[in-house]
Structure 1
Amino acid sequence: MAVLAEIGREIGNWIWFIIAGLLLLGELLLPGAQLIWLGVAALATGLVVPLLEIGWQGQLVLYAVLAFVTLLLGRRMFPRGPKASDRPFLNRRTEALIGRAFVLREPIAGGVGQVRVDDTVWRVMGEDCPAGARVVVTGIDGATLTVRPEGTAA
């Protein structure tokens, strides 16, 4: 114990600045935004230790308390969770087609046909229907739309 106390007196509060620097550097290298709060706690500990002149045990307790507080504040200031998007189908554009009705370009024969969606022709699968019939998209399988005739139950 005397050795640790001697080391603590020799290093002083610089150890907390070194720890803070390593944690903040780790935040840059690792995802998650958790190390930044531990780094802030280590920095605060390094600033407070000379004012309080406490031993290494007190410093560890102070750091633990500050780490807990900064983590709580960080979670409150920057809550996690999905944010509502103004464009929910940006990277899932085909899902935006579900529920929409289109006119068949070619008849569905043998369960396969074609429909024009805006400026693109899509392959469709569903029950047989003549060309010009209106169909509703019920699902998507890769680049193939699953459809049913409009007016029929899902």
Structure 2
Amino acid sequence: MSLTESIIAYLGPWSWFVLGLVLLGLEILAPGTIFLWFGVSALVVGVVALAFGFGWQVHVGLFLVLSLVSLLIGRRLMARLSSEKGDPGLNQRGSRYIGRKFTLTKPLNEGAGNLSIDDTIWRITGPDLPAGTKVRVDAIDGARLVVSRVE
């Protein structure tokens, strides 16, 4: 009997708790919500192993089934949660301004100009307009905001 086999035989059902904690520790070191589901499955098998006296073959089979089921359910849950949270305009800051209205502090000449929004000066394009004109951001063109006059 090898050292690993003797340790597992000595710990009995508690070896599933050790495996579960090791897998949860791996999740901390290598995040990605993969080891999490295997670790939870091992902990559940540990509880079942303490409560019932099934053979190790049943425990391993239960672990495999629980791991697969929890992985599939967990992935679906994480995908749903990640799509509901976050800032959809995170990598396109200008998209936050589409539809908003601002007042030009400098004129828009030859279809180009600048617009100060919050703490940023944006390059803008649109029709020639004098300073003081109310404009609405209609779209984004690269790093420029496309504006039009608000009636």
Instruction: Give the TM-score of the pair, scaled to structure 1.
Output: 0.63
Say which structure is richer in helix.
2
Given the superposition, is the C-alpha separation of residues 146 and 23 from structure 1 closer, same or farther in structure 2, using an over 3 Å criterion? same
In the TM superposition, residue 74 of structure 1 has moved relative to its aligned partner by 5.5
- C-alpha distance in 2 between matches for 1:76 and 1:122: 39
Question: Bigger CA drift: 51-60 or 111-120?
Answer: 111-120
Q: Quick one: which amino acid aligns to residue 18 of structure 1? A: V
- C-alpha distance in 2 between matches for 1:44 and 1:101: 56
Q: Percent identity?
A: 39
Give the aligned CA root-mean-square deviation in angstroms: 3.8
Given the superposition, is the C-alpha separation of residues 67 and 138 from structure 1 closer, same or farther in structure 2, using an over 3 Å criterion? same
Checking the alignment, whether the CA contact within 8 Å between 1:45 and 1:63 is kept in structure 2 is yes
In the TM superposition, residue 40 of structure 1 has moved relative to its aligned partner by 2.4
Alignment match, 1:10: 9
In the TM superposition, residue 39 of structure 1 has moved relative to its aligned partner by 1.5
Alignment match, 1:41: 41
Listed as ranges, the gaps of 5+ residues in structure 1 are none
Listed as ranges, the gaps of 5+ residues in structure 2 are none
Instruction: Give the TM-score of the pair, scaled to structure 2.
Output: 0.64
Checking the alignment, whether the CA contact within 8 Å between 1:103 and 1:116 is kept in structure 2 is no
Aligned residues: 145
- C-alpha distance in 2 between matches for 1:116 and 1:10: 71
Where 1:82 maps in the other structure, the secondary structure is helix
- C-alpha distance in 2 between matches for 1:118 and 1:49: 60
